[in-house]
Chains A and B, each alone.
Chain A
Amino acid sequence: MPLPDRSPVLAPATAALLALGLSACASGVPSAATDGADLSPSSECTAEEGALRVYLNPWGPTLSDRFTQDTGIETEIADLGGGEILARIAAEANNPQWDVVVLDGHGSLEALREQDRLLAGHTLENTGNLDSDGQELLPEDNAWVPVSRHAAAVIAYNTDRLDPQEAPTRWEDLADPAYAPLGIADPAVAAPAYPIVSWFYQELGDAGAEEFFGTLADHGLNTYEKNGPVGQALASGEVPVAALQEQNVYGLIDSGEPVDFVWPEEGAPGVVRSAAISAQTPRPCAAQKLVDWLLTPETMGHLMAEGGDDGIITPFVSGTDTSSLPEARPEDGRLLLTDASFAAENEADIKNWFADRMAQ
Chain B
Amino acid sequence: MAALLHRPGGASRRPRRTAPENILGWLVLAVLSVLVGLPLLLVLAQGVAPGLGLAPDWSLRPELLGEILRRPLWQASLVNSLTLATGAMVLGGVLGTGLALLRHTVSFPGARLLDAAAWALLVSPSFVLAQGWVLFASPSGVAVSTLGLDVSHLVFSPGGLIVIMGLIKYPFAYLAASAALHWDDGSYRQAAALSGARPWTVLRTVRVPLLTPAVVSGAVLVFVDVLGDFGLPAALSAAYHYPTLPYSIYASVRQSPVSFALGGVLSFYLVLIIAAALLVYFRALRSSRYDFLTGRARRTEPPPARWPWLWSGVTGLVLLVAFGLPLGTSLQVSLSRTLHGGPVPGNLTLEHYAEVLSSGSRMLEGMGHSLSVALGAAVLTTVLGFLVGVVLTFTRFRARFLIDMAGTVALAVPGIVLAVGYIFLWNQPVLASAGLALYGQPVLLVLAGTAAALPVAVRLQLGALAQVPDSLLSAAGLSGARLATRLRTVLVPLVAPALVSAFAAVLASGIFDLAAATMLAPPSYTTLPVEILLEYDRGRYGYATAGAVLSSLLVLALAAASTILGRRLLGGAQPSGRRT
* Chain B associates with chain A: yes
Q: Which residues of A contact B (CB under 8 A)?
A: 1-10, 12-14, 16-17, 20-21, 23-25, 27, 29, 31, 53-55, 76-79, 81-84, 86-88, 90-95, 97-98, 105, 108, 111, 186, 188-189, 191, 194, 223-233, 235-238, 248, 257, 347-348, 351-352, 355-356, 358-360
B438–A356 CB distance below 8 A: no
Measured CA separation A86–B433 after assembly (Å): 25
Measured CA separation A257–B438 after assembly (Å): 47
Residue from B140, B432, B446, B519 with most neighbouring chain A CB atoms (10 Å): B140
- Taking CB atoms and an 8 Å cut-off, the chain B residues in 71-97 that contact chain A are 71-73, 75-77
Set A7, A54, A189: member contacting B255, Cβ < 8 A: A189
Measured CA separation A238–B446 after assembly (Å): 41
Write out the residue numbers on chain A whose beta carbons fall within 8 Å of the beta carbon of B54. 91, 93-94
B424–A233 CB distance below 8 A: no
Whether a CB of chain A sits under 8 angstroms from the CB of B18 is yes
Q: Which residues of B contact A (CB under 8 A)?
A: 1-3, 18-21, 23-24, 27, 31, 54-55, 71-73, 75-77, 138-140, 237-239, 241, 243, 251, 253-260, 338-340, 376, 379-380, 383-384, 387, 420, 423-424, 427-429, 432-433, 435-441, 443, 446-447, 477-478, 482-485, 487-488, 518-519, 521-524, 534, 536-541
Known interface pairs A228-B540, A238-B139, A356-B73; A1-B3 also in contact (CB < 8 Å): yes
Measured CA separation A227–B384 after assembly (Å): 43
Known interface pairs A87-B254, A93-B54, A355-B251; A236-B440 also in contact (CB < 8 Å): no
Set A98, A194, A226, A235: member contacting B538, Cβ < 8 A: A226
Smallest distance from the beta carbon of A116 to chain B beta carbons, Å? Answer: 11
List 15 A-B pairs, Cβ < 8 Å: A1-B3, A3-B482, A16-B376, A20-B447, A24-B437, A90-B260, A91-B423, A188-B251, A191-B256, A229-B239, A235-B338, A238-B138, A248-B539, A348-B257, A359-B76
Write out the residue numbers on chain A whose beta carbons fall within 8 Å of the beta carbon of B485. 4
A27–B256 CB distance below 8 A: no
Write out the residue numbers on chain A whose beta carbons fall within 8 Å of the beta carbon of B424. 91
Measured CA separation A94–B428 after assembly (Å): 7
B238–A224 CB distance below 8 A: yes
Set B140, B387, B477, B537: member contacting A236, Cβ < 8 A: B140
Measured CA separation A88–B420 after assembly (Å): 9
B441–A23 CB distance below 8 A: yes
Known interface pairs A20-B443, A225-B238; A29-B432 also in contact (CB < 8 Å): yes
Taking CB as reference atom, which chain A residue is nearest B474? Answer: A1
Helix, strand, loop or mixed for chain B's interface?
Answer: helix
A4–B540 CB distance below 8 A: no
Set B260, B338, B384: member contacting A13, Cβ < 8 A: B384
Set A8, A13, A355: member contacting B73, Cβ < 8 A: A355
Write out the residue numbers on chain A whose beta carbons fall within 8 Å of the beta carbon of B27. 10, 14
Residue from B55, B73, B379 with most neighbouring chain A CB atoms (10 Å): B73
A10–B482 CB distance below 8 A: no
Write out the residue numbers on chain B whose beta carbons fall within 8 Å of the beta carbon of A16. 376, 379-380, 383
Additional A-B contacts beyond A7-B487, A90-B258 (7; CB < 8 A): A7-B483, A8-B484, A16-B379, A17-B31, A93-B54, A97-B427, A238-B138
A76–B340 CB distance below 8 A: no
B488–A9 CB distance below 8 A: yes
Smallest distance from the beta carbon of A152 to chain B beta carbons, Å? Answer: 14
Smallest distance from the beta carbon of A249 to chain B beta carbons, Å? Answer: 12
Write out the residue numbers on chain B whose beta carbons fall within 8 Å of the beta carbon of A87. 253-256, 258, 420, 519
Measured CA separation A23–B387 after assembly (Å): 24
Taking CB as reference atom, which chain B residue is nearest A358? Answer: B241
Write out the residue numbers on chain A whose beta carbons fall within 8 Å of the beta carbon of B340. 232, 235-237
Taking CB as reference atom, which chain B residue is nearest A111? Answer: B257
Known interface pairs A84-B254, A224-B237; A236-B441 also in contact (CB < 8 Å): no
Known interface pairs A1-B478, A83-B255, A88-B519; A24-B428 also in contact (CB < 8 Å): no
Measured CA separation A42–B50 after assembly (Å): 38
Write out the residue numbers on chain A whose beta carbons fall within 8 Å of the beta carbon of B75. 359
Measured CA separation A293–B482 after assembly (Å): 67
Set B420, B432, B487, B537: member contacting A9, Cβ < 8 A: B487
Measured CA separation A232–B537 after assembly (Å): 10
Smallest distance from the beta carbon of B183 to chain A beta carbons, Å? Answer: 24
Measured CA separation A6–B420 after assembly (Å): 36
Taking CB as reference atom, which chain A residue is nearest B24? Answer: A7
B427–A78 CB distance below 8 A: no
B237–A186 CB distance below 8 A: yes
Taking CB as reference atom, which chain A residue is nearest B534? Answer: A81
B432–A3 CB distance below 8 A: no
Write out the residue numbers on chain B whose beta carbons fall within 8 Å of the beta carbon of A347. 256-257
Taking CB as reference atom, which chain A residue is nearest B71? Answer: A356
B20–A25 CB distance below 8 A: no
B73–A232 CB distance below 8 A: no
